[in-house]
Chain A
Amino acid sequence: MTFGRLVSRGIILALLAVVLLGGPALAADAPKRGGVLRVGNLGEPPALDAHWTTASITETLTNHLYEGLYSLDASNRPIPMLAEGHTVSRDGLTYTFKLRQGVKFHNGKEMTSEDVVASLARWGKQSIYGKALFAQVVEWKAVDKYTAEMKLKEKSAIVLISLAVPNNFGAIYPKEIAEKFPPEIKVTEYVGTGPFKLAEWKPDQYIRMVRFDDYKARNEKPNGYGGGKTAHLDEIRWIPVPEVATRVAQVETGELEFADDLNLDAYDRLTKNPNVRPLVSKPYYWLVAVFNKKEGLMTNQKLRQAWQAALDIEPIMKNVAGGKAEFYRMDSSLAPVEITAWHTKLAGLPWNERNRDKARRLLQEAGYKKEPIRFMTTQEYKWMYDFALLTKQQLEDAGFTIDLQVVDWATLVKRRNNSKEYDVFTTGMGAFYDPTHHIYLTASWPGWTTDEDILRLQAELARETDPKKRMTLWEQQTRQFYEKVPVIRYGDLFGLRGIRNTVKGFNEKTERIRFYNVWLEQ
């Protein structure tokens, strides 16, 4: 065999190897276009208006239809989405946003600064994040077709993050729609710039979203919630399946490709099924008992400290997580580990103290005489009821009298706005992307944290723009939190989802599900 032949044979062999080994592997990794992805979720959204409600189901759905000026990257920091970028004036008071050009709405109209100005003005009157930001804004106007300008009263650290949060977010609607619907009335015409557009909404049956063919993606790789987005799927069909056992069965039989919000006891069953994979969703919620600090027994800080001192959190978390270590995490940081920018590791905090003697001492100092404390919870979310029940036992062992009031969710969310009707209520805290977004540290949210020191630090955090100084303030606020105890932070609970093996490209790292960049392998 001549050298030349040897070489050419080698090349052929090498090529063959690429085709045989590398080829199929490459082909399997390449996204496929087409198909319908059926997602089973808990229920019906109250609206498809991102400005209007903080409901998480609305957040999930609307983020496929609409986009904001900014989005969050993989480490939950703001990155431009519909904005090209921004500049800040030297005094820090004027933000100038350059918009991307040629971005189309689902109705074919090009997105320009007048749409952005009208949409964010509406958002600024209704959304909790929008209101917080627009309280600082003195002027918000279009400069030219692709430029908008925001003038602030004072320096602010929350401009970009507020525009980037996915919940209750600053979605850009066409000007005509943003102006047609006043902020307190939900939008019922659904036109956005997102990779999917709404095709049909049959309540309690399905919401169909189809690929938006004129979608203009960013020329970047997918990054967290943002970056380049591609709609590989022809259609996403969101099917409300209220019974959780049915959701599990349907993802097992292949009637659903994806099932959200499953009960933790389905984990083993999904692990055994060769066609399905269980996904542990983090962050999900940290469990929280919120005190009424406006009136009643819990206005007494010593009493709140006694509650904090008495708790043994691990057995509570273990029980709520169905005994599975995969589903809970013991952590005292107010931001979960996944929000890397704001996760704190502070030693010596009075969290999970398991100190009954201290609790009894504090009860005595508080002048507590076994008056019943009205603790409101619901069975509609099993984890809330479970942790409330276990808390009651532990606290009563330490000398509290707890009047556990079990109501349905609609009653709970109504009553918690009335300071006369309760002392404590249960809920969960999802991911907050900025220290100023932690609602339980504000005076306007139920429970009413009006402590001057807490609010002063919140105000400083909103003004301070240097990231390092902000982190120092945030650590200070965390220590203050454990001293003043506006709410009780339990551990982190995780959620469970089920996904068929045919679903590829799903980003497991985000708090809520997204199906752009996802494809189906048949």
Chain B
Amino acid sequence: MTAYLVRRILALVPVLAVVVTVVFLLIHLIPGDPVSVMLGPDATPAQIQATRQALGLDRPLPEQLLKFYARMLRGDLGQSYFLDRPVTTALLERAEPTLVLTVSALLVAVVIGVPSGIVAAARPGSLWDRFLMLSALLGVCVPGFWLSLNFIYLFAVRLGWLPAAGYASLLVDPLAALRYMVLPAVSLGFSQSALIARISRSCMLEALQQDYIRTARAKGLSQGTVTWIHAFRNALVPVVTVIGITTAILIGGAVVTEIVFNIPGLGRLIISAVFRRDYPVVQGVILVTATAYVLINLVVDVLYVFIDPRIRYE
């Protein structure tokens, strides 16, 4: 197991090297220029040229790429053009909001998704099943920003129960943090719960048709014990995979939610960085997201061992 873990972690290196290089080339190859954005609409080409020189953006691309590698090996992701701080600092500042949002949305998604999948599978074709799966279908279809804006209009503007947007740090003011997080977590978690619910349902249906379930029933075990102890654990492997994927999506992909609810996380950072062509920041965020993807995959693979004793890694 340890050898396996070491191997997997070492495999991170080539993956990240490829990701970083591709992102570097892509972002530099698309048209657009950070300096023209920064100097504003009335700047003249001569001014723009002078500032490009000052930032080293006039150097040939291979040279810039080599410098970037050299810096990265020293753990330095460079300096943001826009934010006047090192990219690592910017990333650290944005990590907390994104993590809090990810965890709370995941919580909502799992709490809604897994039980509804199981309940639906326990009585396939019933009214409950149809209602829950229809909601799941809605969750997949309704665009996130539409749901978010309607939540804001209803719960913040009309009813005044919750703040419309913003963020408070969990470490500074936990109560305010909770109030700010309810709407984004629910609107993001709801749409993510749909996939989990559908996967849970189909896996449970499959597990419930296995021979050992018939045996368990024949032994006279209660419906609850059969469903939760015998079927559920066996259905769990694909569900955990989906939850893993969802987590990865949430870390890098909560962009819309972060923008609508004005949460200063990684998603908002990368969107504004792309629009401003803040190259070092784009590279930094992608690097972090890619690492998160790989690590979450690893965690999921390790979790399998605990769920299903038949799985072993050599």
Are A and B physically bound partners? yes
Chain A residues proximal to chain B, CB less than 8 Å: 43-44, 46-47, 52-56, 58, 126, 128, 167-168, 182-186, 188, 202-205, 239-243, 245-246, 249-250, 252-253, 255, 380, 407-411, 413-415, 417, 427, 439, 444-446
Q: How far is the CA of A46 from the CA of B149 in the complex (A)?
A: 28
B42 touches A413 (CB 8 A): no
Q: How far is the CA of A408 from the CA of B127 in the complex (A)?
A: 48
B259 touches A242 (CB 8 A): yes
A53 touches B43 (CB 8 A): yes
| CB neighbours of A44 from chain B (8 A) | 82-83, 272
Q: How far is the CA of A427 from the CA of B41 in the complex (A)?
A: 9
Residue with the greatest number of chain B CB neighbours at <10 A, chosen from A186, A204, A417, A445: A204
Residue-wise interface mask of B (32-53) relative to A, using a CB-CB cutoff of 8 A (1 in contact, 0 not): 1110111111111111101101
A128 touches B272 (CB 8 A): no
Return the chain B residue nearest A251 by Cβ. Answer: B164
A130 to chain B, nearest CB (A): 11
| CB neighbours of A205 from chain B (8 A) | 167, 264
- State the majority secondary structure of interface residues on A: loop
Additional A-B contacts beyond A56-B40, A184-B54, A407-B31 (16; CB < 8 A): A46-B82, A53-B40, A167-B42, A202-B264, A203-B84, A239-B166, A242-B259, A246-B165, A246-B261, A250-B166, A409-B275, A410-B37, A410-B277, A413-B32, A413-B41, A445-B42
A413 touches B36 (CB 8 A): yes
B86 at the A interface (CB under 8 A): no
A to B CB contacts below 8 Å, 11 in the list:
A43-B272, A44-B272, A205-B264, A242-B272, A243-B259, A250-B164, A252-B157, A255-B166, A410-B277, A413-B33, A446-B45
B206 at the A interface (CB under 8 A): no
Return the chain B residue nearest A46 by Cβ. Answer: B38
Q: How far is the CA of A132 from the CA of B51 in the complex (A)?
A: 19
Query: Which of chain B's residues 39-94 have a Cβ closer than 8 Å to chain A?
Result: 39-48, 50-51, 53-54, 82-85, 90, 93-94
Shortest Cβ-Cβ A-B pairs, 9 listed: A54-B40, A410-B32, A55-B40, A46-B38, A54-B42, A413-B36, A414-B33, A249-B164, A411-B32
A59 to chain B, nearest CB (A): 9
Q: A242-B259, A246-B152 are in contact. Are A439 and B32 (CB under 8 A)?
A: no
A55 touches B152 (CB 8 A): no
Q: A168-B40, A408-B32 are in contact. Are A242 and B54 (CB under 8 A)?
A: no
Return the chain A residue nearest B38 by Cβ. Answer: A46
| CB neighbours of B275 from chain A (8 A) | 380, 408-410
Return the chain A residue nearest B47 by Cβ. Answer: A126
Q: How far is the CA of A40 from the CA of B87 in the complex (A)?
A: 25
Residue with the greatest number of chain B CB neighbours at <10 A, chosen from A167, A168, A252, A427: A252
A439 touches B50 (CB 8 A): no
Return the chain B residue nearest A204 by Cβ. Answer: B264
Q: How far is the CA of A413 from the CA of B90 in the complex (A)?
A: 26
Q: How far is the CA of A245 from the CA of B82 in the complex (A)?
A: 25
Return the chain B residue nearest A380 by Cβ. Answer: B275
Return the chain B residue nearest A129 by Cβ. Answer: B42
User: Which of A242, A253, A417 is the one whose CB lies under 8 Å from B163?
Assistant: A253
Q: A185-B54, A253-B160 are in contact. Are A409 and B37 (CB under 8 A)?
A: yes
A195 to chain B, nearest CB (A): 24
| CB neighbours of B262 from chain A (8 A) | 239-243, 246
| CB neighbours of A414 from chain B (8 A) | 31-33, 36
Q: How far is the CA of A473 from the CA of B262 in the complex (A)?
A: 50
A204 touches B272 (CB 8 A): yes
User: Which of B93, B163, B276 is the one whose CB lies under 8 Å from A255?
Assistant: B163
B143 to chain A, nearest CB (A): 13
Q: How far is the CA of A167 from the CA of B38 in the complex (A)?
A: 14
| CB neighbours of B48 from chain A (8 A) | 417
| CB neighbours of B198 from chain A (8 A) | none
| CB neighbours of A204 from chain B (8 A) | 94, 264, 268-269, 272
B138 to chain A, nearest CB (A): 22
Query: Which of chain B's residues 267-296 have a Cβ closer than 8 Å to chain A?
Result: 268-269, 271-272, 275-277
| CB neighbours of A54 from chain B (8 A) | 39-43
| CB neighbours of A249 from chain B (8 A) | 152-153, 156-157, 164-165
| CB neighbours of B38 from chain A (8 A) | 46-47, 53, 55
| CB neighbours of B36 from chain A (8 A) | 410, 413-414, 417
Q: How far is the CA of A182 from the CA of B165 in the complex (A)?
A: 39
User: Which of A167, A168, A444 is the one whose CB lies under 8 Å from B45?
Assistant: A444
B257 to chain A, nearest CB (A): 10
Query: Which of chain B's residues 123-178 have a Cβ closer than 8 Å to chain A?
Result: 149, 152-153, 156-157, 160, 163-167
